[in-house]
Structure 1
Amino acid sequence: MGGSSFRTRDVDEAREEIDARYYANFMDVIERGERPFAARFDTVGLGPLMIGDLSCGADVRMRFGELGAFHINAPMSGTMELRQGGGDRLLATSREAVLLDPAGDTSLDRWSGDCRALSVKIDAAALRQRLEQLLGRAPERGLSLGPRLDITRGPGLGWVSFARQVAAGALAGDGFATHELVARPLQEALLNGLLLAAEHPWRDELAHPRGPVRPAPVKRAMDAVRARPEHPHTSSELAALARVSVRRLQESFREHVGMSPMAYVREVRLERVHEELRAGDPDGLSVGDVAWRWGFTHPGRFAAQYRARFGEPPSRTLRG
């Protein structure tokens, strides 16, 4: 999805545009006073991100279900009052942005008429995968971001400024931000920057990595596994992707990862199963189907490996 400059004075048309670019929603004007409703939505899709410069002209309120994605509202002016999952009110201002998680019904109780906001939707799976790649391992629990981000200084200000700059270039039609040689690094830089700016349990580790950086062949193999953990990887295939011999890759993995390449494949698969079972509906999801989807073809062996890794059988994880 490319860039769009959308203008309307019709609330239903604005709602449909937000639905198409972001999420299904209900929108209405709170008070029809001096400020006429006049939506201005400039948006651009960049792989796993949707970046928008949004304003409505009049005070509005909106209701959403679960977003299913991470989301940032960073006003350049005015305010946004939000709630998520029955929690406390969150106020987004030109000094402090609000970060929303994928889960939890979301409401925008008041979007002030003078509010022009940077509004960024981030694909949840892409951000989690990027965290795994940066850490070099699967996090031991799900990713959740702190709800507030200082955008007056430091990483918060830097990230918001960078996102605006990238979006402005794409909307200007210069094509640079969407060129295949540039788009992927830009998208990764935005994901990396968010993980460095937002509050979460691994931020310090990302900002101040401990120990030696893993060599390029190991990183290439790890990235390939994390991109497609369900694929029937073999040591020889991973060695070819890493551009080293099988023996050299095995030695490097044991030195820098603490396990063999195939053990690493199993660990990543187990983490993906664990994540899907934790988020799944016990009435509509089968442990066997999930295990098969992520490359486990032997039920008994899978169950034993899962219990050893997480301290409980997979059925208990699914039941919550």
Structure 2
Amino acid sequence: MGGSSFRTGDVDEARQEIGARYYANTLDVIDTRGRPFAARLDTVRLGPLMIGDVGCGTDVRMRFGELGAFHLNAPQGGTMEVRQGRSGRRLLATPEEAMLLDPAGETFLDRWSWDCRSLSVKIDAAALRDRLEALLGRPPGGRLTLGTRLDITRGPGLSWVTFARQVAAGALAGDGLAGHELVARPLQEALLNGLLLAAEHPWRDELAHPGGPARPAPVKRATDAVRACPEHPFTTTELAALARVSVRRLQESFRQYVGMSPMAYVREVRLERVHEELRAGDPDGLSVGDVAWRWGFTHPGRFAAQYRARFGETPSRTLRG
């Protein structure tokens, strides 16, 4: 983990730096009172998260494509006005209420006020979903979407934002302990866990009040192997060997603790990876067939049917956005 600070009064330099650290963008000054543009980016990369303290010193607007990641904006002062997706629903981030943006949907920051310095956190979508599965002990069985509003005046929202700021401040100050591998990984998991407990989503109550049986070690060994390399041509026999149990025991354990067979789980993980790649891909430079093949689907017709049954649309529709 390493921190980096950047300052500039040049709009083009700021646009490029925000693109390098977060997302490609257009950036325009819309201030009418002559305030000078003065961008600041103090950022820390922590595995699947980019945590930043960001401001522009004057009123600006920005435009992004699809973010491809979850994103949280939590102002310390001022406001941010954003529209996202086809509906164009307006979101407002304030010092009392942070906004959470979805990976999908074109994003417009209509006004970033001159006095708004914001905690700006980019969260890798696949990493957050993997963390949710690890906490649930099974695949979520649906697309992970987060509520767009997060109360940061109290409770879990305030705790999470405070924690994220502390982690970033420690890294920027050269905190050697926070940068140590033994500490960095637990910090990543704690931040992902905390966001899943703080934000609204269909599985939050289950996470807040866990009650089901823990996933046993053989099942965890098998699911970890699949998630690490889902494109591998796994067989039930190979997974049983990795889990160090018999095929029959593995199948029974998967039915009990995962709710599906081992090979159905392999297919589920592969479909998720295809979905994520298509959603983030360029329709002009990406082939559905190539993506499916890369993740282990060798029968195009069967893949298309499974994909549509899982996500309610064709793979080409996902790619076109």
1:50 and 1:101 mapped to 2: Cα distance? 16
Once the two structures are TM-superposed, the CA of residue 259 in structure 1 deviates from its matched residue by 4.2
Q: Which amino acid aligns with 1:233?
A: F
Map 1:1-320 onto structure 2 (within 5 A): 2-31=2-31, 33=33, 35-85=35-85, 86-235=87-236, 237-239=238-240, 241-242=242-243, 244-246=244-246, 249-273=250-274, 288-298=289-299, 306=306, 310=309, 316=314, 318-319=316-317
* Secondary structure, counterpart of 1:110 in structure 2: strand
Tell me: CA distance 1:9–1:281, structure 2 relative to 1, closer, same or farther (3 Å).
Answer: closer
1:3 and 1:60 mapped to 2: Cα distance? 25
In the alignment, is the contact (CA less than 8 A) between 1:278 and 1:317 conserved in 2?
no
**Across the two proteins, how many residue pairs are aligned to each other?**
316
Using the size of structure 2 for normalisation, the TM-score is 0.85
* Secondary structure, counterpart of 2:119 in structure 1: strand
1:54 and 1:121 mapped to 2: Cα distance? 12
* Secondary structure, counterpart of 1:177 in structure 2: coil
Once the two structures are TM-superposed, the CA of residue 181 in structure 1 deviates from its matched residue by 1.5
Once the two structures are TM-superposed, the CA of residue 253 in structure 1 deviates from its matched residue by 2.9
Once the two structures are TM-superposed, the CA of residue 235 in structure 1 deviates from its matched residue by 4.6
Residue identity (%): 80
Higher relative CO (CA 8 A, sep ≥ 6), structure 1 or 2? 2
* Secondary structure, counterpart of 1:77 in structure 2: coil
1:302 and 1:110 mapped to 2: Cα distance? 43
Once the two structures are TM-superposed, the CA of residue 151 in structure 1 deviates from its matched residue by 0.7
In the alignment, is the contact (CA less than 8 A) between 2:126 and 2:276 conserved in 1?
no
In the alignment, structure 1 segments of 5+ residues that lack a partner are none
2:54 and 2:79 mapped to 1: Cα distance? 12
> Alignment RMSD, CA only?
3.0
Using the size of structure 1 for normalisation, the TM-score is 0.85
Tell me: CA distance 1:60–1:319, structure 2 relative to 1, closer, same or farther (3 Å).
Answer: closer
In the alignment, structure 2 segments of 5+ residues that lack a partner are none
In the alignment, is the contact (CA less than 8 A) between 2:304 and 2:314 conserved in 1?
no
Tell me: CA distance 1:217–1:79, structure 2 relative to 1, closer, same or farther (3 Å).
Answer: same
2:51 and 2:149 mapped to 1: Cα distance? 18
Q: Which amino acid aligns with 1:194?
A: L
